[in-house]
Every structure is written in C-alpha cells, then in structure tokens.
Amino acid sequence: MKKLILLSLTYVALWTVWYFAYPYFLMWLEGFSFFTTLPDFTAIHFHLPEDIFRYVGSFLLQFYAFPAAGAAIQALLPLLFILSIMAIIKRLFKDSEGLVWISYLFLPLYLYYQMSDMTLVRSITILAAVAAAALLVYLATIFLKPFGNVPAFLRNRYFCAVMLLLSLGMSVSVMITYGSVGRHYEKVAHMYHLAQNQEWEEILEEISVQESVQNEYMRKYALLALAQTGQLTDYAFRYGLSSSDDFLFYDVQESFCLSFNVLFYRTLGMNNPAVYHSYQQALQSVPGLSFDAMRNLTDIYLEQKEYELARKYMDILAHTTCHGKWIRERLPKLEAIRDAEPEYRMQGDKFIMESFLPDISSMYDRYPKDAKYADYLLCAVLANKDAGTFFKIFNVVAPRIYTEGQRIPRIYQEALLLIASKEPVVLKVYKIDDDVWKRFTDFTELMSQGKTAQAKRKYADSYWAYVY
C-alpha cells in the first residue's frame, strides 16, 4: 500500500511539474513531430529497433497538443522506469520493501535525458532496456531464491525516507534547472503560441523591456508584436532594436528560428518565403515533416486559393489522430476555392530573402501605400544609424502615407529633429509635435551638461538615446 501511495505521489508530482512548468513546450513538441497512419510512413519505421521506438514516439507526441495529455505521458515514462527497477530489486533481494529507494536513485538521470529528448526515442529506448533487463532477471531467477539480507541500515525507514527525498529533490531540480529544455525554451514556445493566435498585446505583457534588450528571441517577438499593434514606430528602440537584421533570423537552421520566420512573413503577407521556411522547418524534424509545417502550408495555400495543394496537405493530416476538428474548420474554406483561380498577392516576391533591407525595400516599392513595409524599411534604416538614407526614403514615403495632416510617428519626428540640426529646412516641410520638441530640448540640455547617462535613462525609448 505504501509503495502504491509513493508511486501515485511521484506520478502526480511529475505531471504537475510538466503541466505547469512546460505546457507550451509540450505543445511545441507536438508541432515539431509528425505521425500518420499512411502505409508508406508505417513501412519505413519497421526496419531497425530504433525505428520502432521512433514510430512509437511519433505516435505519442501527437497527443502533446493537449498539455494535460502530454504531461501525463511525460510522467508515465519515468514511472514505468521506476517500476522496472523495482521489479529487478524484488527478484534479487529478500524484503525488497525496504529497498524501494534504490529504484529512485536513477530517476534524476532518466529525467535529465528526458528533458533533452525531442522525439521520445531516447526515453523509450532507456525504458525498454530496463524493462528487458527486468524480464531477463525474472527468467533467470525463476528457480533461484532471492539473495540474503543486505546491511540493516540500508533498510532503515529513516535512511529510506532521506534517500527518497534526495532523489525526488534532485529530480525536480533537474526538471526546473537543467536539461536542454530549460525555462528559456518554454518562454520561446509560449511566445510562438501567442503569436500563432495573434495575441500581440499578451506578448508585450509577457516580454519585459530588459528581457527584449538582452534576449535575441524575445526581441524578435517583441518587435513583431509592436509592428502588429501599430507601436513599432514608438517603441522599437526601447525594446532593443539595434540592427536591420533584428527583425528575423538569417542563416539559422534551428526550428524555433525557422518557426518565427514563417510567422514574420505571414504577417506581412509574403507567402513565398513563408513556404520556403516552412519546408526548412519541416526538414529539422526527424521524419523530415512536422505537424506545424503541414498546418502552416495548408493555411497558406488556402489563402492563395491553391485548391489542389491545400487539399493534398489536408488529406495527409486527415490520416493523423488529433486533427479532425482542425480539418473540419477548414473544409468550408477548401470548398470555397475549389473552382477559384490561384491568387498571388505578392506576385514576384522571392522564395529566399537574402538581406532584410534590400528585400523589404523591394516589397515597399511594389506596395508603396502599405505602411507596414514603409515602417519596417524606415525603422531598419534608422537602426543602422543612416540618417541620410532615412531622409531620402522618408521624403518618398511621407507624401504617400502621411497626407491630410496625419501625425508623423514619434521616432520619425525624433530622427527629423536630428537631421534638422544640419538641414533646418526640414522643419518647414514636416510638423514636429510640441511634446517631441520639449523632450528634445530637455535631452539636448542634459547632454550639453555632460549628463549623458541621465539623458539616455530618461529618454530610453527615444531615437536620440540610441544614436548617442
């Protein structure tokens, strides 16, 4: 009975840590995986023992789309590991009840490997090995009696309790502190989840200014959220914009980075590079496909009215376990484009974006009245501290976008004031708000007094603080 209670508490504890500490990472693992009941997928997974484990892992990872189910599976695997060791101890030693703590000694190590296991192959392999050892010990001891007594102190209930507490404490420490998952990847997975659901305000609530400045991943999500909420031209530099390449990842083949790039291009309606990065993301998974990539490609082709391609990917997802509702929600969209001509809103955009500035400039040239492209272009130029190029571009943008007395964004006004110190004519062409003038006057006074640190701290969200 005591053993049952202990195992139950262990399971609840493991489930609780996974569910409350890593819910979004569990969902990301599902997106990074792929499984289908199609015969060719099944056939390629039954050649080597490792292939079978990978197949089982892929099947289980489907359910990680639901954090409670994912946490349940993640907690079950180490519990079965413990039970296998218990079975070995029971066959080898008399009075094995007092040696339960030995089963928990290896739990921290198992959890360490589990934390860095993206496919469950390692977790299942270790479990299978220990379970096989338990079976062999059982068969080998059918006609043998268990060994005699071990030293009495090893069975002492206080010693047992201390060892159990140490093992469980180390296990929780491993789950919280160590492993390749870590809190960082949970945070990135959380931001990805929010961005997928277009919860931009929530992203800005979750990412502090300091975190954005210090962390490249968080900075890119923060800048994307600012752009989507119309705040990029007010707070870009406050959140750490320091280069034209800060908006997305280049020359990086990490799944988290490629997933972000897909989101970035989709928010801009640039489907060609979004398709490219979706395929690149899929290639990072073990099967060379991933649920996340398949879902992204389906939605992209539905938007472009590519009926055959959208149907192709929906048919593949229909042979999975957990996509029934997702497919039903998109069937009306699929039927609506059955006889439609494919649309290419961004006709002519590249599949591979080589450098942010020239590529976003090309997109603005194609859509000169779209403020999204103009803001990305102008903010990127300002990030490179190229005031001259900014002024040339702004003179083209302003008559197209800031007409009929529309307010010029604050960051642009701040840049214009700096330019006006050398070219006063700027102030005759563009209106500067009174509050921006006051901020600039105060900033320059502090700088002239040698109070540079105070000026930059007081106006940390300004373009002036960034320039100086």
Length of the chain counted residue by residue? 468
Assess whether 11 and 126 both reside in one domain: yes
pTM higher than 0.85: yes
Assess whether 325 and 404 both reside in one domain: no
Assess whether 340 and 403 both reside in one domain: no
Assess whether 348 and 364 both reside in one domain: no
Tell me, what's the pLDDT at 48?
66
Dist. CA 248–CA 96, nearest whole Å? 57
Tell me, what's the pLDDT at 182?
67
Domain boundary among 179, 201, 234: 179
Tell me, what's the pLDDT at 346?
47
Dist. CA 267–CA 195, nearest whole Å? 10
Domain boundary among 159, 179, 199: 179
Is residue 186 in some structural domain? no
Give the domain extent around 15: 2-179
Residue 68's nearest CA partner among 76, 57, 78 is 76
Assess whether 92 and 119 both reside in one domain: yes
Is residue 213 in some structural domain? no
Is residue 238 in some structural domain? no
Assess whether 86 and 59 both reside in one domain: yes
Assess whether 309 and 397 both reside in one domain: no
CA 133 distance to own-chain centroid: 38
Is residue 338 in some structural domain? yes
Is residue 247 in some structural domain? no
- Residues (pLDDT < 70) of the chain are 1, 48-49, 146-150, 153, 178-182, 344-354, 404
Contacts 24+ apart (CB under 8 A), 39-42: 41/287
3-state secondary structure 327-366: HHHHHHHHHHCCCCCCCCCCCCCCCCCCCHHHHHHHHHHH
Assess whether 372 and 321 both reside in one domain: no
pLDDT digits (tens, 9 = 90+) for 378-424: 999 999 998 889 999 999 988 888 876 778 999 999 999 999 888 88
Assess whether 374 and 295 both reside in one domain: no
Is residue 197 in some structural domain? no
Assess whether 419 and 441 both reside in one domain: yes
The total number of structural domains in the chain stands at 3
Is there a contact between 229 and 455 (Cβ–Cβ < 8 Å)? no
Contacts 24+ apart (CB under 8 A), 331-336: 333/302, 334/302, 334/307, 334/310
Contacts 24+ apart (CB under 8 A), 434-443: 436/410, 439/414, 440/414, 440/464
Is residue 315 in some structural domain? yes
Domain boundary among 354, 376, 402: 354
**Alpha carbon separation from 169 to 75, 172, 177, 216 (Å, rounded):** 16, 5, 12, 32
Assess whether 32 and 51 both reside in one domain: yes
Is residue 248 in some structural domain? no
Assess whether 144 and 11 both reside in one domain: yes
pLDDT digits (tens, 9 = 90+) for 158-189: 888 888 889 888 887 887 776 445 678 899 99
Tell me, what's the pLDDT at 122?
93
Contacts 24+ apart (CB under 8 A), 364-372: 364/397, 368/400, 369/400, 369/401, 371/401, 372/227, 372/268
Letter string b/e over residues 336-362, b meaning 16 or more CB atoms within 10 A of that residue's CB? ebeeeeeeeebeebeeebeebbebbbe
